[in-house]
Amino acid sequence: MKLVLIKHKFTLAFLLVILVMAFVEPSYARSSLSISYDNLVTMMGVIPPIFLLIGLMDVWIPKETMIKYMGEHSGLTGLFFSFLLGSMAAGPLYAAFPIAALLLRKGARFAYVFFFLGTWTSAKLPLVLFEMTSLGVPFTLIHITSMMLMYLIGSFYLESLLKPHEKIAILDKIHAMSQ
């Protein structure tokens, strides 16, 4: 019982905030719940199929294949595939982390995985047209090119800051999670 409470302390805390709102300003509580519900619906639209795909990729893609295409010595091919994977995405940022973990676990290079995350957060091809119609073509083009250029440099820089033992610790952690 105590363990359950600790495990869900944040959930309980936020529910408490909403409960307090319900007494002080009921419309706020209603709005909080309805926005949460909308996001929950969005989440359920993205997360289960993504995990299904991760599960399938996990059992079907051999480590050697991942190393060949996104590993330490995959060069431009690695960059290309991390861009491809990131830009095909349509999900929110939090959905990218389990995929990044799978890539790392299968032997992808850290820099490419960071680049994948960068692409995911700024150049989503399914949404490019939408961004163009909402915010304009110049805005969208500057957004994508400037962010991608910065992430290209940033990904390798971020990797260079990681010491070998830190990389191993991260890999151990994600290996343990998938057991």
Partner 1 sequence: MTTTVLFYTVSILLTVLSYFKDRQKTMMALKKAYKAFTGLVPALIPMILFVGIMLTLVSPELIGKLLGDESGLTGIIVGAVLGSIVFMPSFVAFSLGENLLIGGAGYPQVAVFIATLMAVGISSLAIELKYFNKKTTILRNVFALFASLIFAGLIGGIL
Binding residues among 103-162 for partner 1 as defined by CB under 8 A: 114, 117-118, 121-122, 124, 126-127, 130-131, 134-135, 138-139, 142-143, 146-147, 150-151, 154, 158, 161-162
Tokens of 57: 């990729």
Q: Which of residues 41-60 bind partner 1 (CB under 8 A)?
A: 42-43, 45-56, 58-60
Rounded to a whole number of angstroms, the minimum distance from the CB of residue 108 to partner 1 is 13
- The Cα diameter of the chain in Å comes to 60
At closest approach, how far in Å is the CB of 167 from partner 1?
Answer: 10
Q: What dihedral angle (degrees, nearest 10) is formed by the CA atoms of 146, 147, 152, 156?
A: 130
Nearest distance from C-beta of residue 115 to partner 1, angstroms: 11
Q: Which backbone phi and psi does 66 adopt, to 5 degrees? A: -60, -40
- Looking at the Cβ atoms of 77 and 162, the one nearer to partner 1 is 162
What does the alpha-carbon distance between residue 52 and residue 44 come to, in Å, rounded to a whole number? 12
Q: Which two tokens stand for residue 19?
A: 């409960």
